[in-house]
Chains A and B, each alone.
Chain A
Amino acid sequence: MQASIYTVWPQFARLVKQVLPSVHGQRGKTLAWVVMGIMLVKSVSSAQSAEVLRRVQGTQASSQERTVSRFLANEAIDAQALWPRFFPARLANWARQPELTFVVETTFVGNWAILVSFGLLHHWRGWPPGWRVMPREQQWQEGQSALIAPFIQAVSPSAGQAQCRLLADRTGSP
């Protein structure tokens, strides 16, 4: 299994680099590594990821945990700027559909944030084309429609001729 992971990781890192050519090579490798960490442990927990990645790489868990922490703290990685670059790849199959249904969903993260997710409905699920993190205990400066607008703008070029429908609740801002 270890050998397979070491085969898949550079392949995935190369793919990340090709989709995100502006991302520094090492950052692309780290992104690929920490994504695989989530897939292997089925959790976003840094400690759990670190434990599995430690076994794979033969290093200390604390070293792997620092890798994850440094990635999360790396200001050069602008998640909101990078994520839309994957839109064409992710939406290519759906662009041929006659109809696309998008959903806006809000959910709490701890007691400090609300995650506003913009999802594409497919096979009874909402797949995440995008998200925004909003404060839970402060009034939002933007309304829901203003939050959604950038998603729609980003998705539009990849949606082809499909008729798009948006479902949303009148909820969100505290």
Chain B
Amino acid sequence: MPLAGRPNWQPLTQILTQPGQYWQGRVWLWKAHLRQTWLTASWQVGQEAPLVVISDEGAGRHSLCRYRKRMRVEATFQDKKSRAFGLHLTHVRQREHLERLLLRLSLAIWWLARLGAACMHHGKRRLFDRGARPDKSVLRLGRQWFLDILQRGPSAASLARCLPFQRQGTHWRLCLRS
């Protein structure tokens, strides 16, 4: 329901009816849970359906850009599932067991992320990835770097620097660069 003019409830499907259209403005949404918010709707040519984004930070193309950041998370999920950790193949069938499996997996992901970031920071990426067109994810780099460190077998102090968290004063910190 656009705010301007008389209340005029209409389904979102009627705001944009064909590709190439765009609309933005302040609206009331949901009769049952009435909420005033900003709405941006865009139906790009070639897309099957419009993209509708609501936000409390205003409407406009910047709103769509911010939403598109959400797609970034897909890469991590692909790592969790088919690309790396095979979560979709797990035989675990109990919720509590899956929770503990995710605790393990999440710790492993943060640790590998820290190692992958350290690998790039130290300029070692080329050892494990194609130089001209690097395509390994930070997690894959982290694992290669981890295996390499274990193979080289440095001192205990050096190995301690590979741990996911480093103590700084009284706090622990996920350090992405040491």
A residues lining the B interface (CB < 8 Å): 1, 3-5, 7-8, 11-12, 15, 18-19, 31, 34-36, 38-40, 42-46, 71-75, 77, 79-80, 82-83, 86, 88-93, 101, 103, 105, 107-110, 112-113, 115, 117, 119, 121, 123-128, 131, 133, 135, 165, 167-169
Q: Are B93 and A93 in contact (CB under 8 A)?
A: no
Contacts of B163 in A (CB 8 A): 8, 11-12, 15
Instruction: Give me the interface of B with A, judged by CB distance under 8 Å.
Output: 57, 66-67, 69-70, 72-77, 80-81, 84-93, 95-113, 117, 138, 140, 143, 146-147, 149-154, 156, 159-160, 162-165, 168, 171-176
Chain A residues with Cβ below 8 Å from B143 are: 39, 42
Contacting residue for B110 out of A8, A90, A121, CB 8 A: A90
Would you call B171 and A169 a contact (CB within 8 A)? no
How long is the Cα–Cα vector from A98 to B138 in the complex, in angstroms? Answer: 24
In whole Å, how far is B97's beta carbon from the nearest beta carbon of chain A? 4
Chain A's closest residue to B142 (CB) is: A39
Contacts A109-B98, A119-B76, A125-B76; is A72 near B85 (CB within 8 Å)?
A: no
Give Cα A38 to B73, complex, Å: 21
Given known contacts A19-B172, A165-B66, A31 and B104 CB-to-CB distance under 8 angstroms: yes
27 residue pairs from A and B, CB less than 8 Å apart: A4-B159, A31-B104, A39-B112, A42-B143, A44-B85, A44-B101, A44-B105, A77-B103, A79-B96, A79-B99, A79-B100, A80-B99, A86-B107, A89-B165, A90-B174, A91-B174, A92-B171, A92-B173, A105-B70, A105-B77, A107-B80, A109-B87, A117-B73, A127-B110, A128-B110, A131-B102, A133-B102
